[in-house]
Structure 1
């Protein structure tokens, strides 16, 4: 019932708040913390006494000092333990057989017994090893340290009820340094960058005048700019537009991507999941936060989508001038909601929680993703067509007949592994599915690249080398709908991709043998999609090749009654692996004239089965 569904959402939020992975990778926290707060340097200096760059540099110097001490002291205590045990053996108080065990025991005793000296620092020591002035270091410690027993006044009940303790407000996320007897300790040093990203937000919004007049605008604008920057990793810069407007002046969306008849309407929301929402204290709070972070942006996206659909042409205004979009030529419109805050499992499949929160109607959902996850996706996805295919598969996650629990990085890993398909037989009778562990290759890549400074190979979707060549060649064409052709090829699983490549190779080989025209065609399951390939020698006449490909594809599409068809062509006298790609998409209608042409011109032959 409804109560059970609401309880499930609360449990989901509670579990997410304890999730080990965290909201992002460490290097992202450092980068975003710097970039988002650096634009407020003047306010930081006046109100906190340091800039975000100062805070990050001081913290890095503390980490470096800790590492130096740990390594130096470890070696020092090993030497001391060796000397001490040597004396014991000489004095007959220990035997040679006991040497190794004694050296380990004595070394550990002294090393860990002296941990307060190794892991603590004074103000003077901080000034010395950080290189910053006394004033800056004092202000840094004043803002970021706490005495034992410190409590935030907004959370007076912290650590009173042991059953609720895992979800109590943790003051280390506000002040990660502990002060005691004029010494300073950092209990969990890995928290620093996460703290810096979040804690200063509350300092800024507490200054209501600054936040409302300057701060909030900078904060939101940065998220939009960063989103556009990430999307430019995938799409040509000339196809990504920041803050486009409707014809007449009102903003259309935060970021717009126009790529080969495919449109991404992107809305960005800096709304954070409130603490009480994060720990699952109240389902209404969760609903309100999701409404502001995702639903409102989705509504704005729907208005923009409808504008494209209902206006012919759709006129939009961008910094570079005016653009007219032929609405009849649009292949797909994707609605993307980007959040600055992390909403883990709550937004990776909104259909999981919608029965309880009731925000979305008609089973329509956006692709909701955090900025951090968008950064990972755009770092690893290799091309516009693959990104569009991934977007299609991500939106299909919302349409599964069962709940799916997974974060974005696991979904991306599953996409690389098997294409993110849940329509297969193995998932047929499921009520719910949890994905975990599919991010291992991605985690390893991110760690080696961003933490170790290596140049590891990116995790990739599995595909035969020649298949990748076809995708690359098709995406390099100047023709329209090339992306639709590539996206449909991505629909093939690995085995079918191999069969496709082999069929193309055989067809090419026949043309090389007799210099004649050869072809193959195949139809996918349920006649939803068909492919055809023609090889012949046109001596570089691509218009003639295009005509042959178009005629053959049109006739094959008609005969097979497919909804969509991809036609490919190759000139044996050229240097490309494929020279022409066309995409046909329209409902089948009976046409006696085309039927007669097909009957007269299509040679009888066996349809090649490469489908899955």
Structure 2
């Protein structure tokens, strides 16, 4: 039983009062070590609190492993009972602390290299709105993360084959609504990034306006680079009606500059 459930059962909180999320020090230390990005730690706490009445587990570490494995967004309105999931976590923690000889890897929710790099870049640079963009990325399910991981390679292959700038835009949906848009670019060797950067910023702003998104990103790679990507641009500015942007979007759509696929 978790500390929060103990408190609720004690009746110290008046009926109808929302029980706060309480964690003991040991669980908090484990959470911090497994979810070592601040954005991921905050995302866990938000999902944990929101799912308190819908996902039940015997121990806080079971909640953590449910988050790592599937997230903590309930699949339905029915209460979901989580079985004991912490064995792998305890194996890793025991090995890490020298209590277990056999090697055990740290449980990770995000395994896709491109998605990991995106989150790391956001964490390192912390541009305006970085937490909002990080949350949108962390909300992606595994299938969407795999798409985000594969598209840069496909775009780069197109550039390597044609020696021309190539791009693809993908919009990710959450509950039927667009939640995150990512432009994937690969710039040909003949293109200077400094020349393309302003145009990429412009496309991001237009795409964000067209889809009324709270978070958009551009992932840019270079034809002659072996890295997964070489630059990232993020925009998490608040969407507001704008007559000039409306006209610019109409013009861009006319010339098929904002073509995309939804996931």
TM-score by length of 1: 0.37
Structure having the higher Rg: 1
- Which whole-Å deviations, capped at 9, do the CAs of 1:321-355 have from their partners, x for residues lacking one? xxxxxxxxxxxxxxxxxxxxx726336xx6xx699
> In the alignment, what sits opposite 1:570?
221
Asked whether the equivalents of residues 530 and 565 of structure 1 are also in contact (C-alpha less than 8 Å), the reply is: yes
Asked whether the equivalents of residues 187 and 193 of structure 2 are also in contact (C-alpha less than 8 Å), the reply is: no
Q: Choose the corresponding residue for 1:518, options 150, 163, 167.
A: 167
The 1:516–1:374 alpha-carbon spacing in structure 2 relative to 1, beyond 3 Å, is same
Whole-angstrom CA distance in 2 between matches of 1:374 and 1:476:
23
> In the alignment, what sits opposite 2:145?
497
Asked whether the equivalents of residues 538 and 571 of structure 1 are also in contact (C-alpha less than 8 Å), the reply is: yes
Whole-angstrom CA distance in 1 between matches of 2:21 and 2:196:
39
Asked whether the equivalents of residues 470 and 577 of structure 1 are also in contact (C-alpha less than 8 Å), the reply is: no
**Secondary structure, in 3 states, of the residue corresponding to 2:213?**
coil
Asked whether the equivalents of residues 535 and 569 of structure 1 are also in contact (C-alpha less than 8 Å), the reply is: yes
- How many corresponding residue pairs? 256
Flag the structure with more relative contact order, 1 or 2, with Cα contacts below 8 A and sequence separation at least 6: 2
> In the alignment, what sits opposite 1:346?
6
Q: Does 1:561 align with 2:217?
A: no
Q: CA deviation at 1:366?
A: 4.8
Q: Choose the corresponding residue for 1:461, options 96, 99, 109.
A: 109
Asked whether the equivalents of residues 3 and 24 of structure 2 are also in contact (C-alpha less than 8 Å), the reply is: yes
Whole-angstrom CA distance in 2 between matches of 1:504 and 1:459:
26
Q: Choose the corresponding residue for 1:547, options 172, 178, 198.
A: 198
The 1:376–1:418 alpha-carbon spacing in structure 2 relative to 1, beyond 3 Å, is same
The 1:538–1:560 alpha-carbon spacing in structure 2 relative to 1, beyond 3 Å, is farther
> In the alignment, what sits opposite 1:438?
85
Q: Choose the corresponding residue for 1:394, options 48, 73, 81.
A: 48
Superposed counterparts of 1:51-130, under 5 Å = none
Superposed counterparts of 1:254-273, under 5 Å = none
Q: CA deviation at 1:459?
A: 1.8
Superposed counterparts of 1:157-172, under 5 Å = none
Richer in helix (by share): 1
The 1:517–1:446 alpha-carbon spacing in structure 2 relative to 1, beyond 3 Å, is closer
> In the alignment, what sits opposite 1:595?
246
**Secondary structure, in 3 states, of the residue corresponding to 1:527?**
strand
Q: CA deviation at 1:504?
A: 2.3
**Secondary structure, in 3 states, of the residue corresponding to 1:515?**
coil
Q: CA deviation at 1:492?
A: 1.1
Q: Choose the corresponding residue for 2:183, options 521, 532, 550.
A: 532
Superposed counterparts of 1:145-156, under 5 Å = none
Asked whether the equivalents of residues 137 and 180 of structure 2 are also in contact (C-alpha less than 8 Å), the reply is: no
> In the alignment, what sits opposite 2:61?
409
The 1:554–1:478 alpha-carbon spacing in structure 2 relative to 1, beyond 3 Å, is same
Q: Does 1:358 align with 2:6?
A: no
> In the alignment, what sits opposite 1:380?
34
The 1:561–1:469 alpha-carbon spacing in structure 2 relative to 1, beyond 3 Å, is closer
- Which whole-Å deviations, capped at 9, do the CAs of 1:130-150 have from their partners, x for residues lacking one? xxxxxxxxxxxxxxxxxxxxx
Asked whether the equivalents of residues 546 and 580 of structure 1 are also in contact (C-alpha less than 8 Å), the reply is: no
The 1:521–1:548 alpha-carbon spacing in structure 2 relative to 1, beyond 3 Å, is farther
Asked whether the equivalents of residues 58 and 84 of structure 2 are also in contact (C-alpha less than 8 Å), the reply is: no
The 1:403–1:488 alpha-carbon spacing in structure 2 relative to 1, beyond 3 Å, is closer
Q: Does 1:419 align with 2:68?
A: no
The 1:576–1:583 alpha-carbon spacing in structure 2 relative to 1, beyond 3 Å, is farther
Structure 2 gaps of 5+ residues are none
Whole-angstrom CA distance in 1 between matches of 2:50 and 2:238:
21
Asked whether the equivalents of residues 534 and 568 of structure 1 are also in contact (C-alpha less than 8 Å), the reply is: yes
The 1:529–1:465 alpha-carbon spacing in structure 2 relative to 1, beyond 3 Å, is closer
Whole-angstrom CA distance in 2 between matches of 1:391 and 1:573:
41
Q: CA deviation at 1:471?
A: 3.3
Structure 1 gaps of 5+ residues are 1-15, 17-341
Q: Does 1:581 align with 2:233?
A: yes
Q: CA deviation at 1:493?
A: 1.3
Q: Choose the corresponding residue for 2:154, options 494, 502, 506.
A: 506
Whole-angstrom CA distance in 2 between matches of 1:443 and 1:599:
55
Whole-angstrom CA distance in 1 between matches of 2:245 and 2:64:
43
**Secondary structure, in 3 states, of the residue corresponding to 2:22?**
strand
Q: CA deviation at 1:376?
A: 0.9
Asked whether the equivalents of residues 345 and 406 of structure 1 are also in contact (C-alpha less than 8 Å), the reply is: no
Asked whether the equivalents of residues 417 and 462 of structure 1 are also in contact (C-alpha less than 8 Å), the reply is: no
Whole-angstrom CA distance in 1 between matches of 2:225 and 2:131:
22
Q: CA RMSD in A?
A: 3.3
Q: CA deviation at 1:444?
A: 2.1
Asked whether the equivalents of residues 531 and 567 of structure 1 are also in contact (C-alpha less than 8 Å), the reply is: yes
